[in-house]
Amino acid sequence: MSTTTSKSSAYPGSRLFESLGKKVDLPLDQLNFIIAQAIALILAFLFTFLLKHQSVSKTTRHVASLIPGVILGYFCFGYQISNLLVMGMLCYIAMITCKANVVQRVVLFVAMFYLSYLHLLRLIQEYGSYTVDITGPTMIAVQKVTSLAFSLHDGLARPQEQLTNEQRKYSVRKIPSLLEFLSYIFQFQSLMCGPLVYYNDYIEFIEGKNFARHMEGNTTKSKPTAMWAVMRRLSISVFFAIMLLTLTPKFPVDKLADENYLRQTSFFSLMLYLFATTAVARFKYYHAWNLGETICNASGLGFNGFTTDGKPKWDLISGVDIVRFETSLNLREALEAWNKTTQSWLRRIAYERTRRYRTLATYVLSAVWHGFYPGYYMTFLTGALYTQAARTARRCIRPHFQKSTSLAFFYDIITCITTRVMMVYLVFPFVLLEFYASLKVYIRLYFYGHLFSLLAIFVLPKLLPPPPVKGASHKLS
């Protein structure tokens, strides 16, 4: 889901359910999203029961993923769904014409350039609106085409011994057919809001190998069912949808742009409001991502083997670990739990491929991928500062609290609270979007996030030098 919008509201879904939207007091774009995802969930169950890989061909399963995706995309976005086709075909042409040693760079440039064009178009047409539009599906499509291009580069241009285990697993040694490519881009299971499915995982799902690979040589296990995973994730999605409808009107984010409110409220009250409004903003993603995973799991996509006690795992394309994020002890743990498929994509195509300034390059790519609202850049550039500060502070402080269990427990409590306080400072510009409004909130907060980060980087090592590490280098977490 995207936070930008278009002025074109005459989508087929808008006209069809306009009266229903008025009755339930729900914006048409959100109503269309929910209806499209509900239809996708029904189709996912039908896909599982009627189109088993043993009884139909791979071509049939590809078409059955492609056609509903195009129809649902048209239902929500009208002619704008053609942007996915145009961007996808430009990248596909690059894949079949460019040499394998440069294809990943060309596709990354083309995809990000096209996405940036859409972001800028929405920015010009209707600045500051919070509406579901075509940029959301395009962001997911960009992840797909770029990850596929890097996998082709790994499979066709790099010696296997130079690849990491993950790169070797996802390397692709043959350019997909046009049907395979379009099915991958438009698959109805993840078209609207993800999650990102890597190409090899998608092809295994189409061919039915995602189950066989984990069950090979083990006759004691029957084919796992996704029903429990579907019901659990669907329940989570519905819960956060109710929370959104209930709490969003009580904590509007635009209140932070009210100068009178900022002047009259105390520092403590402002912090409480920031905690509330950023939490409500997260609920939107918890709802959408869990719904997307529900649809994927219902169609049989997302199986990831068995636990040690033999229970099936459906976490291959898990988007967020809510409990871990909300109780994370440090920034790295929080980032690993949040939007996990996007974190994986950023790591695989940016962090692991960049020789210098890896952290900064990764944050910049993430910001451009999200769009051009100033708040995104304020958040991600501050995040790069936070990352360095967190690493330095951990090196200097943590060893002193590992001398006993009680000290370690106390350290975990302090870092958990600190992470919450620093995270709310980090993410509110992402929600507020605007530069001057965010800057005024920074001023009202005395820039505490930036100041503490700079002190951790430049002053803390002098006051509390990190202890020398014996033996192997110390691994940060």
Q: Rounded to an integer, what distance in angstroms lies between the CA atom of residue 456 and that of residue 454?
A: 5
Q: Which of 32, 200, 210, 339 is catalytic?
A: 339
The question of whether 165 is a catalytic residue gets the answer no
Considering the candidates 165, 290, 370, 474, report the single residue annotated as catalytic: 370
State how far the Cα of 143 lies from the Cα of 377, in Å rounded to an integer.
20
Non-local (6+) Cβ contacts of 178 within 8 A are 92
Number of H helices, E strands in the chain: 23, 0
Which residues contact residue 286 at a Cβ distance below 8 angstroms, ignoring those fewer than 6 apart? Answer: 236, 237, 240, 320, 322
Cis omega (within 30 of 0) for bond into 466: no
Among the residues of 248-339, which ranges form H helices? 259-264, 267-298, 322-326, 331-337
Please state, in angstroms and rounded to a whole number, the distance separating the CA atoms of residues 356 and 374.
Answer: 25
Q: Find where tokens 């269990």 sit.
A: 405
Whole-number Å distance between alpha carbons of 84 and 317: 22
* Residue 282 neighbours by CB under 8 Å, 6+ apart: none
Centre a 10 Å sphere on the Cβ of residue 245 and count the other Cβ atoms it contains: 14
83 is catalytic: no
Cβ proximity of 361 and 349 under 8 Å: no
**Within 187-253, where are the H helices?**
199-207, 209-215, 227-247
Amino acid code (one letter) for 363: Y
Tokens representing 365 are 């790519």
Is the Cβ–Cβ distance between 191 and 140 less than 8 Å? yes
Tokens of 17: 């359910």
Catalytic machinery residues: 339, 370
